[in-house]
Structure 1
């Protein structure tokens, strides 16, 4: 019997405690499906937060984590174009990617150009698509508008900085370390507020100073808690705050904050956009992002460490190490030699 390895969790909790390596029988793709052999998957906060139970109401157990990754099509189902065999693709909108093989819809896989390596290709979904959709569809920022983001040194923070150059808005990035300042400025941020500096004014005061008292037109909160609340008070009257994450693990009572700050608060869930996007829109979005990556107008995170699936506990620990620089990848054993 031919089997493959997959990471599963049967209960919610600390990822290093609840993740298990199991073996499953290799499936055959049905009509319109392809079987993809995975080669690389990044570990994102959005992969780990659900494992801890933050969205337990909508995640059935047992579950396989992983929202993005890249692989090679090694089998096709009936009615699928044979030319797809052997193609490198992003097998998205399917079962979790933290497994050696998975079944995906043939019409939804995203072909990967030869000049994009697995390290870059595997990161093309969660952060780039989220940032692009927020800027162009949710906010519709005008050139010259100020947008402020916290967790500015994160992967998505760096993407917002680069999109500011492409789209023309002005980015104020908030960080908790001076180590990110020069990189963010070089990527396109107009200003960086380093809250670790002694005697720093509040974020609100700093943003008002930069914007000559007006406040930012928009804010992006990835943190929640007190930092998320403070961000709402940094926008102009009638401004918009979009919540995209909860890195602090502390939820915000956004209704109360919205009324007090006179800021319109929106919760952004990429899955909602994905559910409504047509197949054409899906491919068009990735086509645009891939073009910018190929033109070097959009640079994604470097890789700090690589682990096999069987080393998932070590990989998760490494991914959550505060001093880490770059992404942690779960890869095939043969790819470990590329460090």
Structure 2
């Protein structure tokens, strides 16, 4: 894939998955193009592992706030090996396995990335295992520790606990000594019990009563990815000092109206609850919050926070205290099948859908 000339510049032809517009998974296109050599501050990364997340499903529907104009290359995160670096980048990075939170661009055999955005993956962690913990692990860790500040002895509720974020969140919560109640399809309940989750059928018409039977005084935190009516139910299930963390609007995934018309009422509802004279708290979590502009002080603080939190998650994985939950692996050329499985994961898969370039 890579040729190196006498001036140590890389010439690379890459295969990428292009999302041309609002299409079914079968409408994704595989294309090839040449990458330029790394510019100042850049690194060329050969992708070992990337994945399908909720974000790509939303993007192909035009439902992800802030997504680029079509056509573009999806891929929210990746793990790979640095093959070349541009001027101003430490050459010791070459040959190292790294992780990157990209938002787009990861579905490719190689990518050019800003070197400052790379996080080194500790030795002894496989690429696919590390991939399960980038956006999912970062999201779960920050929601648990930075947003809700969950402590030992507390009880939390996780909606859609069988998904990529949910399985990591459940494990991290159990690691700190919290009790985990989670909603999921019954076919996943056995696997979830092995993670220490107390599962509830997400289709149960009396979900509130089921949760109240397990936590009569309410739960200390709810992590809700559905939005809409679900977030109201989640708030009502909190105890007197509980915290609600909303982090997606999955229930509105197939709506046809502008996505802001779903987000704005949710944000208004969360803000209203925080003005009420109670000790409860509600917030919306965005993994990119506080990122700021490139090369700004905010971006540097964001990078430092990301490195710190990912290091914690990777250490837990390496030490065997966290299990990488991989639902399936697909070659990059079978991305349509991977996306179809990922979008039905509430019924058929537990964990992350991996793409192997």
Shorter-chain TM-score category? Answer: 0.7 to 0.9
Cα distance in structure 2, aligned partners of 1:187 and 1:83: 38
In 1, are the aligned partners of 2:100 and 2:134 still within 8 Å (CA)? no
Q: Cα 1:131–1:328, aligned 2, differ >3 Å: closer, same or farther?
A: closer
Q: Cα 1:107–1:57, aligned 2, differ >3 Å: closer, same or farther?
A: closer
1:285 alignment counterpart: 309
Instruction: Give the secondary-structure state (helix, strand or coil) at the position aligned to 1:272.
Output: coil
Structure 2 counterparts to residues 1-339 of structure 1, below 5 A:
3-17=13-27, 19-55=28-64, 58-93=67-102, 95-177=104-186, 179-189=187-197, 191-195=198-202, 202-212=206-216, 214-237=217-240, 239-249=242-252, 251=262, 253-254=265-266, 255=268, 264-275=281-292, 276=298, 277-308=301-332, 310-321=333-344, 322-332=347-357
- Cα RMSD after superposing both structures: 2.7
What is the TM-score with the length of structure 2 in the denominator? 0.81
Q: Which has the higher contact order (CA 8 A, sep 6+)?
A: 2
What is the TM-score with the length of structure 1 in the denominator? 0.85
Cα distance in structure 2, aligned partners of 1:85 and 1:25: 20
Instruction: Give the secondary-structure state (helix, strand or coil) at the position aligned to 2:183.
Output: strand
More displaced 10-residue stretch of structure 1: 228-237 or 145-154: 228-237
Instruction: Give the secondary-structure state (helix, strand or coil) at the position aligned to 2:122.
Output: coil
Cα distance in structure 2, aligned partners of 1:288 and 1:256: 33
How far apart are 1:303 and its partner, in Å? 4.3
Cα distance in structure 2, aligned partners of 1:228 and 1:16: 32
Cα distance in structure 2, aligned partners of 1:64 and 1:73: 20
Cα distance in structure 1, aligned partners of 2:94 and 2:205: 58
Instruction: Give the secondary-structure state (helix, strand or coil) at the position aligned to 2:117.
Output: coil
How far apart are 1:238 and its partner, in Å? 5.3
In 2, are the aligned partners of 1:94 and 1:103 still within 8 Å (CA)? no
Cα distance in structure 2, aligned partners of 1:111 and 1:105: 13
Cα distance in structure 2, aligned partners of 1:279 and 1:142: 25
How far apart are 1:2 and its partner, in Å? 5.1
Q: Cα 1:226–1:176, aligned 2, differ >3 Å: closer, same or farther?
A: farther
In 1, are the aligned partners of 2:49 and 2:128 still within 8 Å (CA)? yes
Q: Cα 1:70–1:286, aligned 2, differ >3 Å: closer, same or farther?
A: same
Instruction: Give the secondary-structure state (helix, strand or coil) at the position aligned to 1:91.
Output: strand
Number of residue equivalences: 324
Cα distance in structure 2, aligned partners of 1:330 and 1:59: 22
Cα distance in structure 2, aligned partners of 1:125 and 1:52: 23
Cα distance in structure 2, aligned partners of 1:57 and 1:124: 23
How far apart are 1:133 and its partner, in Å? 0.5
Instruction: Give the secondary-structure state (helix, strand or coil) at the position aligned to 1:137.
Output: helix
How far apart are 1:123 and its partner, in Å? 1.8
Cα distance in structure 1, aligned partners of 2:269 and 2:115: 45
